[in-house]
Structure 1
């Protein structure tokens, strides 16, 4: 059995298909004096390869982004599937526009909204922003 190689090209069609699934991503934003602190996030990938997520305006990850605009996202296949992951190092930007639409799309992607409509309403009532990750380097592994 050969050892699969890691590739560092930008997102491929296979990566985009994998990232189109409703998988959790683990976002890491390192603070200057703090160790990196990954957090699970919902996300979507745009046609241009940018990755979008939302977060509350007062969240620690957004405060860390305020100190620098670098982040990483790791997405992995669930247990029971063949091993696969995609990791992205990216420049991050924060946006005020399109937040409610993004939250609604993500909730529909990860939840059955017939059962979770009240939770979506609560999420939309929060003070959220949209974070866009602009991939600069991508690593992937599949076995």
Structure 2
């Protein structure tokens, strides 16, 4: 199946790290959001190495695995990434609230730093999806 299923989306809506791989780059842990339309989005500074690579070749993959202590499970999505100039700060705020305790002054300051600089919204449009659950 080459689309994210409702079961995949439920799994991907958990606060798990994804590992993003772009052409010519090493996998990097990232925050991400699975959307109702089956895309995956993340944010990045416009001059980040992954963004420069995506401008040359917009293909990428994201792999998300269950944490240690849970049964083995993973979802992998591969496809084209669009670089969107809008919505990155809103996305960063939602993801920070999902991954961090923003009641912690250090984390709140970290979010403030993220929001103080330009960000792009990266949208992965899955063309090939693989999964495993044991």
Residue of structure 1 in register with 2:125 after alignment = 134
TM-score, normalized by length of structure 2?
Answer: 0.95
- How many residues get paired? 132
The answer for unaligned runs of 5 or more in structure 1 is 1-7
Partner Cα distance (1:125, 1:9) in 2:
37
Secondary structure of the corresponding residue to residue 95 of structure 2:
helix
Structure 1 equivalent of residue 102 of structure 2: 113
What is the CA distance between 1:9 and its match in structure 2?
Answer: 3.4
* Alpha-carbon distance between aligned partners in 1 of 2:113 and 2:78, rounded to the nearest angstrom: 31
Which of 69, 78, 81 does residue 92 from structure 1 map onto? Answer: 81
Instruction: Say which SS state the counterpart of residue 38 (structure 2) adopts.
Output: coil
Larger radius of gyration: 1
Could you list the runs of 4 or more consecutive aligned residues of structure 1 that deviate by over 3 angstroms after TM superposition? none
**Structure 1 equivalent of residue 62 of structure 2:** 73
Matched residue of 2:103: which SS? helix
Partner in structure 2 of residue 3 of structure 1: none
